[in-house]
Amino acid sequence: MSTALLIEQLLNGLQLGVMLFLMAAGLTLIFGVMGLINLAHGSFYMAGAFACATVAAATGSFWIGLIASLITAAAAGAIVEMAVIRRLYERDHLDQVLATFALILIFSEGTRWLFGSFPLYLDIPPLLQGAVPLPGGGQYQLYRLAIIGVGIVVAIGLYLLISRTRLGMRIRAGESDREMIAALGVDISTLYTVVFALGAALAGLAGALVGALQSVQVGMGEPVLILAFVVIVIGGIGSIKGALFGAVLVGVVDTMGRFLLPQALMLVLPPSQTALISGALASMLIYIVMALILAFRPTGLFAAQP
């Protein structure tokens, strides 16, 4: 195993982590501010990917598609928030789980109705094709580096937004005391819509970025959604910092598990068994990590609310 391969795999883990962060940031923000569990967050991811693929196919430009994905996901988020979600803030988690579970069914079949049953095509833009050399003799794909870059920019942007702007001040106030911000004369329902649309837009962005790497198809949001939940639970629900840390942890553990487990097991097991058993273990690994972390820190690593 060379250093170059190890570095490449670490970068792959980081890239997966960054993508999960884009999903998890919205989820954790929505939970932190409004106290809402949103199972339908994966649908915005899917909406972003479909919007990007459709617009990119029509205009020939990935970049216009990317803008379209942000607009579509944000608009879908705002509409869903105003039509459905705002009726759920006062309900218990159970009702929220069921209502957003229903939204998944509606979104998936609705998307299939609009776009048909076959997967769509979306490729990475010419500007970002190719690879860059790595120290140690390897090389790494430029587009994946760009995704890591986008993730870092979004993380910094969110940090600045929350710590330096009026909107961020209201979000922080909303997290600590919902009654108080109403008393301060802040229009809560607009604030909630904005936060929800912001979360949806981040998910849509993730969907569009990843859509160029994967297949743009109905149901693509669900596996990511479950991983994003793992991320925010590990990080501590409501904490952006926790989401970032959890996302990178999950991304790296998952990637390195798939990479290193077979090699480690090769030392103790006959080769015919290794591939199967390491496959089984690698797919369970992040859930084992999550259970271990919660067993020792029941509210995650960086819980925003005690």
Question: 40-79: which residues touch other proteins (CB under 8 A)?
Answer: none
CA dist 56 and 58 (Å) reads 5
Residue (14 or 171) nearer to other proteins, CB: 14
Number of residues that bind other proteins (CB under 8 A): 83
Residue (4 or 169) nearer to other proteins, CB: 4
Q: Taking CB under 8 A as the rule, does residue 165 contact other proteins? A: no
Q: Taking CB under 8 A as the rule, does residue 288 contact other proteins? A: yes
- Considering only 290, 301, 302, 304, the residue that binds other proteins (CB under 8 A) is 290
Q: What angle do CA 103, 157, 244 make, to 5 degrees?
A: 65
Residue (37 or 200) nearer to other proteins, CB: 37
Residue (6 or 64) nearer to other proteins, CB: 6
Site for other proteins in 105-164 (CB under 8 A): 105-106, 108-110, 112-113, 117-121, 123-124, 129-131, 139, 141, 143-144
**Residue 127 phi, psi (nearest 5):** -55, -35
Asked if 254 and 19 touch (Cβ cutoff 8 Å), the reply is no
Q: Taking CB under 8 A as the rule, does residue 190 contact other proteins? A: no
CA dist 208 and 213 (Å) reads 9
Q: Taking CB under 8 A as the rule, does residue 299 contact other proteins? A: yes
Residue (85 or 202) nearer to other proteins, CB: 85
Residue (163 or 215) nearer to other proteins, CB: 215
Contact code string over 4-33 relative to other proteins, x by CB under 8 A: -x--xx--x--xx--------------x--
CA dist 238 and 287 (Å) reads 20
Site for other proteins in 202-261 (CB under 8 A): 210, 212-220, 223, 226, 229-230, 233, 237, 255, 258-259
Find the part of the chain contacting other proteins (CB under 8 A) among 67-75, 101-109, 157-165, 181-189. 101-109
Residue (75 or 128) nearer to other proteins, CB: 128
Q: Taking CB under 8 A as the rule, does residue 95 contact other proteins? A: yes
Residue (15 or 69) nearer to other proteins, CB: 15
- Considering only 127, 160, 180, 275, the residue that binds other proteins (CB under 8 A) is 275
- Considering only 146, 152, 162, 294, the residue that binds other proteins (CB under 8 A) is 294
Asked if 168 and 161 touch (Cβ cutoff 8 Å), the reply is yes
Residue (157 or 287) nearer to other proteins, CB: 287
Find the part of the chain contacting other proteins (CB under 8 A) among 60-68, 70-78, 201-209, 273-281. 273-281
CA dist 277 and 183 (Å) reads 58
Shortest approach of other proteins to residue 153 CB, angstroms?
21
